[in-house]
Structure 1
Amino acid sequence: MKKQAHPFIFFMALLFIMIIGTCRYSSGEAAGNESLRPLRTAAHIFQNNGIETKQWTVYTREYSRQIQNDAAFFKKLDELKRENRAFRWALEENHHMKKATGIYKHPFFQEKIQLIMTATKDKPQTYILYEAKGQHWSEKKWEEAEKAIERTSKQLFVKQPTFFTCMNGEFSGNMKGGLFHNALHLLREFQATPVESLREDSLVSLSAYTEQWENILPTNDHPMNIQLALRERLGGKTSIVVGTPIITIEY
């Protein structure tokens, strides 16, 4: 398996590709909450392996072809405010970008909507971004969050969105066999086959492919739809991050 660049650089490059919209999915139209299923799978695997969930995130975005000038931007913003009255809104503007952000803090998770228009040489590029983020994990609370995510995303997007999901947790005991051995064990729990890897003294990062879900991210050599990273922390703790199809937070 190949050794990759530094994980933070790798993360930033992939996230940039994802945000500007050149990231391609090979999943077609996701059916229902299919692309949310990996998050529940990750939660169960964490629980089965004594890993405490610290945070989960759900992210998606859609390019808006109709919004190509300031008037269309503010018209859409007014529409978003009317349809999402529980959200608290803020607007940032400069010569290169307009960004409106709405946040709704539920008792146990948060939803965020962003309308972003950036200036380019040809014409402005506008995206609607959506993120849901929660602390810890509860099956009952997740069912409520999932309903809210589906309700909000159905109202926001023209097409059925494909979600990027991410979960991070912490293992407090001594991991027998080392980071790489345990990373491979967790990938087996996902029924995933490694395609790329990075190994350092206190960090292991693996990209892999599993047939459990349809969303995939094409690469030069092999398709992938899951990333897993383990990092040793002070005090004998190990942090674990799982992302589908990629990790979208710094690790």
Structure 2
Amino acid sequence: MFILFLSKLMNKERKCFTVKKIGLISLVLFIIAMVHHTYKTDAKHMNPLDDMAKAMDELKIEMTGWTMTAKENSGFESDWKGYKSRVDKLHNKTLDFTWGKPEYKGETIIVKGTKKSKDGNITETLTISTHRLDEHYYSVLSYSMTGKRWSEKVKNDAFSLFSTRTSELFSSNPSFFSCISGKINDTMVIALSKRAEQIIHKFDADFVEGIHEETFVSLSAYTELWQTSLETKEKKMNLQIALRNKGKNTPVEVLIGTPILLNEY
């Protein structure tokens, strides 16, 4: 099942499998290509985050963080010089970012830049992940914006900045992902599956598939509220929900994402 694959890939408690050379490239291409529709940077792809925040508030789930991400396949460079030129151009576009030293993981080079807003409410992260195959360099560009609080002001600031950044950084229509995290602190003993069903109902979504365990539930669903979707088992999906119970006297952790959860759970 598609959701089982994602769960194994992202769960911190399960070791991620190793993907070699072409396998790594295929995986990245697969994730990016899964988005059923892509469209220009405007409120359409940012509204889901606000929808998820409102749903959490109505369900009395305390928000702990949010993320908006844009990803784009940047293509191949034929040699090191071409790759270096691509990185330099990106650096010049983001002189206000703090860039770290390149990280080398086998044949993959990861270069990351970050910037925090003056009020501390928003953190931006730009990542260039490049895999070397023979003498060619294949790059994927990822831009993420994260925060912990959500208000009308934060929303307006985040949406405006995200729109500006993605327009400047990406040459074509990237794939967009949104995710929100929260926790349930109440003392009512309600099964995780029941909690997940409550969340699905909030989005008028139809269940597609899921994993049900005693302390972990992950569901995929489809809602007509949003325009992006993936195909799985000949069905559309654009909503993923994950809940984890780590034991007595600890909050239930909640993740909601569209079209898939990029965050680890």
Does the alignment reach a TM-score above 0.5?
yes
Of 223-232 and 171-180, more deviation after overlay is shown by 171-180
Q: Tell me, what secondary structure is at the counterpart of 1:223? A: strand
Give the drift of 1:137. Answer: 1.8
Per-residue CA distance 1:136-180 (angstroms, 9 max, x = gap): 322211210111111111111012333111111011113454221
What secondary structure does 2:211 align onto?
strand
Decide whether aligned partners of structure 1 residues 97 and 229 sit closer, same or farther in structure 2, where only a CA change above 3 A counts.
closer
Q: Identify the residue that residue 34 of structure 1 maps to in structure 2.
A: 44
What is the identity, as a one-letter code, of the residue corresponding to 1:87?
F
| 1:104 alignment partner in structure 2 | 115
**1:28-107 alignment, distance < 5 Å:** 28-30=38-40, 32-65=42-75, 67-92=77-102, 94=104, 96-106=107-117, 107=120
Moved more, 162-171 or 173-182: 173-182
In structure 2, list runs of 5 or more residues that go unmatched: 11-15, 18-23
CA shift at 1:188, angstroms? 0.8
Query: Do the aligned partners of 1:210 and 1:225 also contact (CA within 8 Å) in 2?
Result: yes
1:124 equivalent among 134, 137, 142: 137
Tell me how far apart the structure 1 counterparts of residues 127 and 141 of structure 2 sit (CA, whole Å). Answer: 6
Check conservation: 1:173, 1:236, Cα contact below 8 A: no
1:98 maps to a residue whose letter is I
Q: What displacement does 1:18 show?
A: 9.2
TM-score normalized by the length of structure 2: 0.84
Match of 1:153? 166
What RMSD in Å do the two structures reach over aligned CA positions? 2.5
Q: How far, CA to CA, are the matches of 2:26 and 2:98 in structure 1?
A: 26
Taking a change above 3 Å as real, the CA distance of residues 174 and 45 of structure 1, as seen in their structure-2 partners, is same
Q: Is structure 2 residue 252 aligned with structure 1 residue 244?
A: no
Change (3 A) 1:197 1:246: same
Aligned residues: 248
- Residues 238/6 of structure 1: CA separation in 2 closer, same or farther (3 Å cut): farther
Helix, strand or coil for the counterpart of 1:146?
A: helix
CA-to-aligned-CA distance 1:92-134 (integer Å, 9 cap, x gap): 1547233221111112111111122211258321111111111
TM-score, normalised to structure 1, is 0.89
Structure 1 contact 21–63 (Cα < 8 Å) conserved: yes
Report the secondary structure of 1:145's partner residue.
helix
Question: 1:38 is matched by which residue type in structure 2?
Answer: P
Measure, in 2, the Cα distance between the counterparts of 1:198 and 1:122. Answer: 42
For the structure 1 residues 19 and 165, does the alpha-carbon distance in structure 2 shift closer, same or farther, using more than 3 Å as the test?
farther
- CA distance in structure 1 between the aligned counterparts of 2:25 and 2:107, rounded to whole angstroms: 19
Match of 2:219 in 1: 206
SS of 1:160's partner is coil
Segments of structure 1 that go 5 or more residues without pairing to the other structure are none
Q: Distance in 2 between matches of 1:18 and 1:184?
A: 34
